Amino acid sequence: MVNEQDSRNGKTGERGFTLMETSIALVLLMIVALGAASLFLYAATNTSTANDRQLAMAVGQQRIEELRALNFTDTALDATAGTDTNVTSANRPYTLRTVITNSTTVSGQPTLKSITVRVTPNGAGSAWARTITSLFGSVTLTTQRSTLLLGPNR
């Protein structure tokens, strides 16, 4: 039954949301929105980090290809404990550490050389270098070169 007082005021049993119900709904929506925003930030950061890692790998790969293109007896391929080179790619500085070791020798002559290139982002003050270094450290690429001369087991 409808109350006479309610029908005179135009209310026929209809009821709206209370301030408390509206506040609870807003809090729940805010929690969901903040969760989605944090996931978006996480995805954006990881996408940027993957791009920076790819740039570092491209720098290292270019250095490896330069060394592979040299003649096996070139002095640039002499065994070294490590040489550092500063390189800038896409406006980002990197340090390349190149280590060449003679893996196998025959009659005192090297027949197999291992080449390792480690690429580390520079710029301790820059946010991207700190982020990249903390997430994946350095990128290390390794290859081997062998002589074209036949060994003693012809």
CATH of the domain at 85: 3.30.1300.30
pLDDT of residue 1: 47
Measured distance CA(100)–CA(19) in Å, rounded: 73
Whether 46 is in a domain gets the answer yes
Which helix (DSSP H) or strand (DSSP E) does residue 143 occupy? strand 139-146
| 77 φ/ψ sector (left φ>0, alpha ψ -120 to 50, else beta) | alpha
pLDDT of residue 9: 61
Whether 88 is in a domain gets the answer yes
pLDDT at 3 exceeding the cut of 70:
no
pLDDT confidence bin for 7, thresholds 50/70/90: low
Say if residues 138 and 119 touch (Cβ distance below 8 Å).
Answer: yes
pTM for this model (two decimals): 0.62
**Total domains in the fold of the chain:** 1
Whether 10 is in a domain gets the answer no
pLDDT at 47 exceeding the cut of 60:
yes
Whether 22 is in a domain gets the answer yes
Say if residues 86 and 93 touch (Cβ distance below 8 Å).
Answer: yes
pLDDT at 124 exceeding the cut of 60:
no
Quick: pLDDT tens for 58-116: 999 999 999 989 988 888 888 888 888 888 888 888 889 999 998 887 777 888 899 99
Quick: pLDDT tens for 9-27: 666 666 778 889 999 999 9
Whether 7 is in a domain gets the answer no
Domain that holds residue 87: 18-146
